[in-house]
Structure formats: C-alpha cells, structure tokens
Structure 1
Amino acid sequence: MALKAGARLRSQIDTTEVVVIKPPAGDEVLTCGGQPMIEVSQTPAEGLTSETGAGTQIGKRYTCSSDAQLEVLVTKAGSADLSLGATTLARKEAKPLPASD
C-alpha cells in the first residue's frame, strides 16, 4: 500500500492510530510493533504478536531519520513503536523559539 498525505492508519496489535503528514519517498511499509499498519476502516488480522517498545504518544509527530522523509501524527496512543522498514521512527522535537531581548 502506497502511503499518501492525509491517510489514516491503525495498528493491528494495539490502539495506535496515525495520520500521514508527509509520505515517504519509497515504497517501504509502515509498521507498528512489527506488524503492517492498515487503514482505519479495515479489520485487524487475528492472532498477531507484537514487539513492544516505548510506544507512541497522542498528539506527537514521529519522523524517520533516513532519506524517506516520512512524518506521521499520532491520533490515538499505543504501546508499540512505529517503524518504516527497519528504521524505528523517532518523536519529532519542537523547534526552539528565538531568544527575545
């Protein structure tokens, strides 16, 4: 499934839901807990196991540090990590405000 800006995806193994802000340049698969993410209207497969991690936080943006330039916004938090291919997504930090005098 090719990711497009505005696509709403959900995890098959926990409660994580995301919206794609910037789609990746390639055709890599976005996963949560090691399982491919699906559209929110689809039903998750039964009997899947997950890789646990730090999880996701609601309202935070996650990006890929590789050249793929993927950026997603988490709309529902979960307990598993997001990955693009073999690269785990990192939470995007806010840009510091300029100093005022």
Structure 2
Amino acid sequence: MALKTGVRLRSQVDSTEVIVVKPPAGDDGLSCGGHPMIEVSQTPAEGLVPKPGTGTQIGKRYTSPIDDQFEVLVTKAGTADLSLGDTTLAKKEAKPLPASD
C-alpha cells in the first residue's frame, strides 16, 4: 500500500492508530509490533502477536531517527512500536524556543 499524506492507518496487534503527515520517499511499509499496518476501515487478521516494545503515545509525532523524511501522528495510543521497514520510529522532540533576553 502506498503511504500518502492524510492516510489513516491502524495496527493489527494493538490499539495504535496513526495519520501519515509526511509520506516516505521509498516503498518501505509501515508496521506496528512487527506486523503491517492496515487502513482504519479494514479488519485486522486474527492470531497475531506483537513484538515487545515501549509503545506509542497519543498526540505525539514519530519519525525516522535517520532522517526526517517520514512522519506520522498518533491518534490512538498502543503498546507496540512503530517501524518503517527495519527502522524503529522515534518520538519527535519539540524544538526549543529561542531565548528572549
């Protein structure tokens, strides 16, 4: 499935749901807990077990730690990690505001 800006996806192994903010340049698939994510309207496969992870937080953006070419916004938190291909996504940190001296 091609990832485009605005596409809503859900995990097949936990409650994680995301919206794609910046689509990836390549064809790597987005997965959660080691299983491919599906569109929100699709039904998850049964019997899938998630890989252990730290989980996702609602309202946070996750991006590739290698470059900022891909970004998703979590709309429902979950217990599994997000990954793009073989790369686990990292929570995007807020940029510090400049000092106003």
TM-score range with shorter-chain normalisation?
Answer: over 0.9
Aligned to 2:55: 55
Compute the TM-score of the two structures, normalised by the length of structure 1: 0.97
Separation in 1, partners of 2:98, 2:91: 22
% identical aligned pairs: 77
Q: How many residues align?
A: 101
Secondary structure of the corresponding residue to residue 80 of structure 1: coil
Compute the TM-score of the two structures, normalised by the length of structure 2: 0.97
Separation in 2, partners of 1:23, 1:2: 9
Cα deviation for residue 86 of structure 1 reads: 0.4
Aligned to 1:83: 83
Contact 1:25 1:68 in 2 (8 A): no
Cα deviation digits, residues 35-60 of structure 1 (max 9, x gap):
00000000000111110211000000
Aligned to 2:34: 34
Unmatched 5+ residue regions in structure 2? none
Cα deviation digits, residues 15-45 of structure 1 (max 9, x gap):
0000000000000010000000000000000
Unmatched 5+ residue regions in structure 1? none
Q: Residue 50 of structure 2 aligns to which amino acid in structure 1?
A: S
Q: Residue 97 of structure 1 aligns to which amino acid in structure 2?
A: L
Contact 1:24 1:68 in 2 (8 A): no
Q: RMSD across aligned C-alpha pairs, in angstroms?
A: 1.0
Structure number with higher strand proportion: 1
Structure 1 residue ranges (4+ consecutive) displaced by more than 4 angstroms after TM superposition: none
Separation in 2, partners of 1:8, 1:99: 37
Separation in 2, partners of 1:98, 1:33: 37
Cα deviation for residue 67 of structure 1 reads: 4.8
